[in-house]
Amino acid sequence: MRITDLKCAVIGNNPIVRIVTDEGISGYGEVEQYKPYLKPYIINLREALIGMDPTDVERCMLRIRQRGAFKPYGSAVSVIEMALWGIAGKSAGVPVHKLLGGKVRDQVRTYNGSLRVHMGGSNPEHYAAECKRMMALPEGFTIIKHGVAFHSAQKREFPDFTYGDPVSGVFHGALDSGLMTERGLNHVIDCVIAMKEVLGDKVGLALDCGPGWTVTDAIRFAKAVEPYNLIWLEDMLTGDYIPYVNADVYRDLTQATSIPIHTGEQIYLRQNFKDLIERRAVDIVGPDPCDVGGIAELKWIAEYAHLHGILIAPHGTGNGLLGLGALVQVCATLPANFIAFEYPSGSTPWWYDIVDGLSDLTVRNGMINVPDRPGMGVDLNPDRAARYLLPQDTDFFA
């Protein structure tokens, strides 16, 4: 089998990759939402792969892996890797998890992720209401994550939240930061208390916190909320679109609190997790298969973290429905340090009409059964998806 073409179309907000082969098998991969600008970066990798055997996934990756970078530019490489695995699974007639060593669990746990909505405010009552809504969802999530502080509207909506000036910018993840006022810090703590009063000990609470905290504020906040048994505090110091790790600084925070500290969604490749893991700078790593270099890269990181007593909770909120399939496949193979992955969904209702295999990925009691369909378990339906192609992408399924 040989690769004859690599195509990319923007469907909705998502760049979708199609790898075409001379045996009529195609592999699809989906980039995290809101990255249509990555299409030319993806297409730029085409010539390196033409003529390669797509089932030799690692050999193909050795040709393009050096062209990626920290979030968001690792996506160009990652999406190709997942499409390659899809072809390999279809060609062998087995689900991808069989090619990654086989599943070690029949169900994988997921948490609310993309199902969070704008709450209409950032006060304790808004957070309490949103937790009630989440608990009522049919998915029955056993872990719920919410954004607070610098990963929420609190940083702009609460007066005098910090001693600095808010950064105005058009990009997601604008890097607001600064020393928090006492009132600002207490407000975040009050919101945590309000959420825990709703969730009790029935549903675990994780917090997406930043980045943007000073180390001293991060430590003060972590100590203040220790009585509430939070599952983790995420991206307090670096993270989300920050192209560096600062493992030594994270270690100071991690050693100062009993609450697990989590980061890693922005990191590209295993090498950039090395300091976090070997220094035990965090308690939980959260690579995103759409940013880290793909699902095999994520599995390697999980195995290495497990050797060091570090847990893993993969990121994935914007990865779409093809990304959901990839997350289920790889998380089924991860070692016992796996907690749960962040649930992605379709960016518009019609996405659910153009992806096959979704009925096998229904969430019940926070869990998804691992499907045995060949490939990623889900696939783009060309006949139904063609109507959503942009004029410049009409040859995508040709």
For residue 118, give the nearest of 150, 154, 143 by alpha carbon: 154
Same domain as 151, residue 70: no
* DSSP secondary structure code for residue 176 in this structure: -
User: In this model, does residue 230 exceed pLDDT 90?
Assistant: yes
Three-class DSSP category at 126: helix
At residue 168 the predicted structure's pLDDT band, cuts being 50, 70 and 90, is low
User: In this model, does residue 164 exceed pLDDT 90?
Assistant: no
In which residue are the tokens 């907000």 written? Answer: 13
Mean pLDDT, all residues of the chain: 96
Same domain as 274, residue 213: yes
User: In this model, does residue 10 exceed pLDDT 70?
Assistant: yes
Domain that holds residue 37: 3-93+381-393
Instruction: Tabulate helix, strand, coil % of the chain (nearest 5).
Output: 40, 15, 45
Here the tokens at position 358 are: 């979704």
pLDDT for res 175? 80
Average pLDDT on 19-40 reads: 95
User: In this model, does residue 214 exceed pLDDT 80?
Assistant: yes
Are 320 and 17 within 8 A, CB to CB? no
231 part of a folded domain = yes
pLDDT for res 66? 97
Average pLDDT on 194-204 reads: 97
> What percent of the chain clears pLDDT 90, i.e. is strictly above it?
93
State the DSSP string of 305-348.
HHHTT-EE----TT-HHHHHHHHHHHHTT--TTB--EEPP--SS
124-135 vs 182-199: helix axis angle to the nearest 10?
A: 30
**371-390 tens-digit pLDDT:** 999 999 999 999 999 999 99
For residue 356, give the nearest of 334, 383, 331, 330 by alpha carbon: 383
pLDDT for res 33? 83
Report d(CA 164, CA 224) in Å as an integer.
23
Average pLDDT on 72-95 reads: 97
Average pLDDT on 82-90 reads: 98
In which residue are the tokens 């808010």 written? Answer: 166
Work out the number of other CB atoms within 10 angstroms of the CB of residue 220. 18
359 part of a folded domain = yes
For residue 27, give the nearest of 77, 89, 74 by alpha carbon: 89
Average pLDDT on 181-208 reads: 98
Distances in Å between the Cα of 260 and the Cα atoms of 100, 107, 112, 139, 207 are 28, 24, 19, 25, 11
**101-113 tens-digit pLDDT:** 999 999 999 999 9
Same domain as 136, residue 51: no
Report d(CA 118, CA 68) in Å as an integer.
32
Same domain as 280, residue 351: yes
- Determine the distance from the C-alpha atom of residue 187 to the mean position of all C-alpha atoms in its chain, rounded to a whole number: 28
Three-class DSSP category at 163: coil
**Continuous segment of H or E residues that includes residue 97:** helix 96-99
Number of domains comprising the chain: 2
For residue 150, give the nearest of 132, 162, 137, 133 by alpha carbon: 162
398 part of a folded domain = no
Same domain as 70, residue 149: no
Report d(CA 96, CA 329) in Å as an integer.
6
pLDDT for res 118? 82
Q: In what order do the strands lie in the sheet with 311-312?
A: 143-147, 204-208, 232-234, 261-263, 284-285, 311-312
Same domain as 60, residue 109: no
Same domain as 180, residue 43: no
* Torsion angle of the four alpha carbons 361, 364, 370, 375, in this order, in degrees rounded to the nearest 10: 10
Average pLDDT on 25-32 reads: 96
Q: Residue 79 — left, alpha, or beta (φ > 0 → left; ψ -120 to 50 → alpha)?
A: alpha
* DSSP secondary structure code for residue 386 in this structure: G
* Torsion angle of the four alpha carbons 152, 155, 159, 161, in this order, in degrees rounded to the nearest 10: 130
Q: Strands 379-380 and 355-356: what pairing? A: antiparallel
HEC sequence for 230-299: CCEEECCCCCCCCCCCCHHHHHHHHHCCCCCEEECCCCCCHHHHHHHHHCCCCCEECCCHHHHCCHHHHH
Same domain as 135, residue 65: no
User: In this model, does residue 238 exceed pLDDT 80?
Assistant: yes
User: In this model, does residue 321 exceed pLDDT 90?
Assistant: yes
Same domain as 110, residue 35: no
Three-class DSSP category at 369: strand
Q: What is the CATH number of the domain that holds 80?
A: 3.30.390.10
pLDDT for res 272? 97
Average pLDDT on 262-278 reads: 98
User: In this model, does residue 64 exceed pLDDT 70?
Assistant: yes
Same domain as 109, residue 83: no
At residue 349's C-alpha, the angle toward residues 347 and 351, to 5°, is: 70
pLDDT for res 173? 67
Report d(CA 152, CA 269) in Å as an integer.
28
Are 303 and 331 within 8 A, CB to CB? no
152 part of a folded domain = yes
Same domain as 72, residue 113: no
